[in-house]
Structures are given as C-alpha cells and as structure tokens.
Chain A
C-alpha cells in the first residue's frame, strides 16, 4: 500500500467513477420507492423526481389495509429467532468440523452442502405435512422450527473457522479450557464480525421469505409482512402508492439493522474478498 506509484494514483478516479455509478444503480430503486410512496394516485406514473403534492395517504391506506403492526412484529420475531437459531446451530456444526477429524465428517459435510442445492419447492410439501401433523400451523413454531439449521451458514462458518489459527485452540486446551469454553471464549470473540455478517444475510433471507409463511399461516394477523405486501398487487393492477409505502415500511427494520452492524459487514466482506 505504501508504495504509491503514479499508476496507482490514476486508478482511483476511474474506480470511483465506476463505484459511484454502481452505487447510484443500487440506491436509485430505493429512492424511487420512497419517492412513489409520497405521490398521490394521479402522479404515481409521472417521472418527476419529487412528488409535486406530498401525501401521506399511501401510508395511511397501507397501514389500515393490513394489520401492519402485528405483521411487522411477527416478521421481526421470526427473523430474529430464525437468525439466532441458525447461527447457533451452524456455529456448533462449524466448530465440530474444524475441531475434530472424525470418520464420515467429509460425508456429513458433503451432505450438508448438498442440501443447500435442494430448492425449497422440493421439500415444502413434506415440511408442510409434518408441521401440520404437529399442529403447528398458524404458529411461530411452524414458521421458525423447519428453518433452525442453515446449510449456507454452516458452509460459510466452516470456512471462517478453518482460517482460525489451530495453535490458539491448542494453547487454550493446554490451559485446561473445555471445548465449550474454547468455542465461546477463544474462537467466537475473534470471529464476531464474520458471524455478524452471516447473521445479517440470514436475517434478510428470513425477513424476505414469502412462500413458507404463505403456506403455514392463514390469517394476516399471524403472518409476516411479506404476505401483507401481496395485498396491494393483483393480476389486474397494482396499487403502486400503497404498495411502495408498505414496502418502505417493510424495509426499514432491515435498513436499521444494516446501519447498526454496517462496520462488521464491510469488515467481513473485505476479509472474504481477500481470502
């Protein structure tokens, strides 16, 4: 980094131009969503960059058409619980794979990897039949329990755990720490940012899930917010204003969590890129 040659100085301008363009591409839809959410019906299809007449009607309609508060609470509960349990199970799995070499470990790892490739549609009916037989329809258990393990998280964390220096683990063991302590006192604090970034991805996936809540829940009051968004879309027309208002509300929690954990995410993406 220190040897700042001339070539290195010319590059950032071009790089920044590209990054600014990409940044614009990423931010513009978000901006357009918020812009449309404040436009009255008559302006929804106009291309003006700001509403000529600002209105909160769309938010009012969106809020009153579906039990928004209930659904947001449900979404938050499901996403947090699901993320928490997925992280917990995958940390244990990743630790087991790194800490011990046991017979069949690569087979199990391969199997876990393969389940990641199975599309949800293939397993949704068997899952649903099972959930129904437990009487878990329309319940938090039904929404969360089938998703407490994530193959994606196991694979990601295994790679992260592998990079953790073995010598440190051995040293901790020599100091008399149990495996449980090694995991939570030695490894976990050092890999916190990587785990947090996987957590964010898991949270977003859980938050955005539509089909499973659609199957498991019946009433809007028991469902997550993604099912509520569908209320504003139909085969004949979309109510763009309320839809954009509802989508804005629905994306706020994810944005807030992203802002809180921003540092960790960027850290881990950078590390992931370097590896």
Chain B
C-alpha cells in the first residue's frame, strides 16, 4: 500500500475521536466510532500477511456487529421518547444496548475474546495502536454514558476484566497475547476509574499509553514473539533488555516505578468513594497478573540465554537511546508526574 495514504487514515482516526468527544448525540458518536474503525482497518492489513488478514477480518466482524447493536440501541432509545440527547435516556434498554456495544468495541471482560486473537495476529506497532489509541473513541463514549444507572454494571465489567486479564496471562508464552491480557486487566482499572471520575480514567489511560508504547516499540525492535526469545535480548542488546524488564515491572505496578503511582492514585479515590470490594478485586487481579510481569522481567533481566563461551555482553550497542532514556526517566520520575495528577479534583 502506498505510504502516502497513511496520513489520511491517521487524521481520520483523530477526527473521529474529536467528533465523538464534541458531540452530544448518539448518531454522531456512532458515526465517529465507525469512522475510526474504518480508518484503522487498512492500517491493520498493512503488510498483507495471512495472520494480519485473519486478524483484520475478526476485528472488522466484531466491530461491525457492535456498531449494529449500537445503532439498534440508539433506535430503541429513540423510540422510547423523542428527546434525543443521550444523557436524558439512561436506564432503559436502548441505553444498555449502546453500553454493551461500546464495551464490546473496547474489549472489556465478558466481551474480550476477540482482543487476544486480533493482537496475536498483528505486528507490534499496529497492536500498540489497537490497544492504545483505538480505545479512545470507545472511552470517550463511555465517559459520557457512565452515570448512576449503569455504573454498577461497568464496575462489574471492570472487576471481571481485571481478574480475566490476570488469569489469562498466567499460562501464556506468546508475548502479544500476554500484552493483550495485560491490556484487558488495565482496561478493568480504567473503566472503574472512569466510573469514579472521568479525569481519573483519563489520567490512568495516559499512564497506560505512556508506559506501553515504549514497551511495544522495544519488543518490535527485539522482534521476539515468544517469551523464550527475550532471553537472548540480554546478550545482544543488554540495555534495552533491562529497560524492557523494568518497563514490565512498572506496567505491573511495582512500587518504585511509575505504574504503581497510577494505581495508587486510583485506589485512593476508590477508597475515598467507598468502592472497597471493587478495590479488593482489582488488586487481586493485578496481583495475579504481577506473576507474569515478573516472569517477563526475570527473563529480560536475570537470565542469560545459551551462548558461546567467549562472547561477552554487548554493552556498547546503544540503539534508540532516546527511546530508552525516555522510558527510564518515565519510570523513575513517576512520583513527580503523579504529584501533579493528585491535584485533580476528587
């Protein structure tokens, strides 16, 4: 595909989010969601490999179905009364259908099956876009939908997501599936954060994006699809391998790193709003997922792969030092960033 056309898709994806976040009516939200999906699909099949095509088809089918349900939900709610504005239509079945459709598009827990398969089929870069930027339209709708009527349902989805994300990754050896489950787990936190306060959700999402994009990039560079391939990273590119391990620990939410402070911020607000049971379930899910984060970090940092006796560590290779130092600084300076975020209104 011609590279000159990719800006068109990117700009369309950005425009779709702006359309959603600036509109108050469900039709334009639907339009924005569809625009975003359609603009993203050509990017997914960029290299035309069979795996990519399969993943793209799966993605398209699920998104189309969700869009149909969304439209149906809109029509149903429109038929209930004719006041039109989404915010006035809570509590009835049409609204719930819209919410289910959005949840499906996001890939929240009971509707998460497609995420793992699609991410497994894709390269790291489109996978990263799928797990980060493509969540923005859905979340933009969800923050406008989240009110008292369906918030308990969203909390439930969030808890199930955290648990499923934790449990699903336990036995995984494929890096991309692992990242997909990790994303599901974080999405659980994110949705609960959105319910507790939209700014909280926003800050947590920012944190997740900022943490995961460098990881995807490094994995793309190391080109390791399987967990075992990470072991060789320490031989060929030690700095990057170590940073990958540290980044995963941060993603898992281990205290000295940046990822922990995001979870801390959210937990503070959850406890403040008396979401105690939810907090416990979320922490449990994260604790389970920490196991596989630790395993990845262990392979990245501690274990040396099979090697020639005479070959030493290659400490001089400093590719992409900007990216690496960015990740490192990010993980170390988490405290300062969160210090700003904690000034958010509670």
> A and B: partners?
no
Instruction: State the B residues within 8 Å of A (CB).
Output: none
